[in-house]
Structure 1
Amino acid sequence: MTTINQDSAVTLHFTIKLKDGSVADSTHNLGKPAKFVIGDGSLSENFEQCLIGMTAGQSQAIELAADDAFGQPNPDNIHHMDRAKFIGESEVEVGTIMAFSGPDGMEIPGIITEIVGDSVTVDFNHPLAGQDVIFDVEILSVE
């Protein structure tokens, strides 16, 4: 039985829940599990430490404080844009999540948090930044 350690390739299903029990994200919704290598930077170090030692077939609920999950909101990730940039967008309203082109051409999701006159405030922080979360993980395979 292979145990998760540094450099293991891990395939797992996870469900991210908030403290109130509501589900924020789940690989079950996508219909396919997540796969990553321990130490590749896709997960926080503290989260990886919680996975080390687990084996395929194991399930566990891992509670993470905001700093260990998606970090704290960064004020530099909040941008004010001219409403004219949104011409043709059907719904520019508070709470709308839109995809914007980042400097590297990758799409970045931003959530509209405020509209004042011609100024639209868009928050590019991860929607779960600043939140304590619970990861329900189910380890499918370890290579």
Structure 2
Amino acid sequence: MSQVVVGPGAQVFMHFTVELPDGSVADSTRAHGKPARLTLGDGSLSPGMEAELMGLSKGDKKRFSLAPEHAFGHANPDNIQHLDRSQFAADADLSEGTIMAFTAADGNQYPGVIRAVEGDSVTVDFNHPLAGQTVLFDVEILDIVSKEA
């Protein structure tokens, strides 16, 4: 029986750690003790991330770096919004760095980071928190379910 490898449409169970250039850990499935389940080609991973995973087998470990354009993208100034303080609950924590969920017109929720509060204006950044960062991934493939299976 041939070894199953990561390919288009494969469902991959893996542990990963995302580190920033300064060595700090931005996210880790190991810390939560719960591996990620991802499907290649469903749009949840960047093409750069998928390219790094292609061909890996169960048990493989890999460390790789992705530039912003291949990871979480560059920060987009259009994703920074200035909202009126009256749009927030009276007891909302509007301190700088607070992450809040916002419901869009389409009903989906999106995270936003409070960047500044000046008078009645609240600046909210809807860019991915790691946008503009080069990130280092440390992955371990736990299992692969190929598209054909």
TM-score bracket, normalised by the shorter chain, equals over 0.9
Question: Where does residue 97 of structure 1 map in the other structure?
Answer: 99
CA–CA distance in 2 between the matches of 1:84 and 1:96? 17
Report Cα offsets for 1:67-99 as digits up to 9, x if no partner. Answer: 100001111111101112224224211111111
Is structure 2 residue 56 aligned with structure 1 residue 54?
A: yes
Aligned to 1:12, which of 11, 14, 27? 14
Detail structure 1 runs of 4+ shifted over 6 Å in the superposition.
none
- Which amino acid is the alignment partner of residue 95 of structure 1? G
Shift of the alpha carbon at 1:24?
0.2
1:117 to partner: Cα distance = 1.1
SS in 2 for 1:108: strand
Residue 86, structure 1, aligned to residue 112, structure 2: no
**What is the count of residue pairs matched by the alignment?**
143
Equivalent residue number for residue 108 of structure 1: 110
For 1:23, the equivalent position in structure 2 comes to: 25
Q: 1:64 aligns with which of 59, 63, 66?
A: 66
Give deviations 1:23-71, integer Å, cap 9, x for gaps.
Answer: 0011123321111221111101111111111101011111000110000
1:94 match: secondary structure? coil
User: Take 1:81 and 1:90, find their aligned partners in 2: how far apart are those partners?
Assistant: 14
| SS of residue in 2 equivalent to 1:128 | coil
Q: Work out whether 1:135 is the aligned partner of 2:137.
A: yes
Q: Which moved more, 1:24-33 or 1:37-46?
A: 24-33
Question: Which residue in the other structure is 2:4 paired with?
Answer: 2
Instruction: Return the alpha-carbon distance in structure 2 between the equivalents of residues 112 and 123 of structure 1.
Output: 6
Tell me the C-alpha RMSD between the 2 structures.
Answer: 1.2
> Comparing 50-59 with 80-89, which one deviates more in the overlay?
80-89
Secondary structure, in 3 states, of the residue corresponding to 1:47? helix
Structure 2: unaligned runs, 5 residues or longer: none
Q: Equivalents in 2 of 1:87, 1:102: separation in Å?
A: 16
Normalised to the residue count of structure 1, the TM-score between the two structures is: 0.94
Distance 1:11 1:91 in 2: 36
The letter of the residue matching 1:136 is D
Residues 107-116 or 25-34, more deviating: 25-34
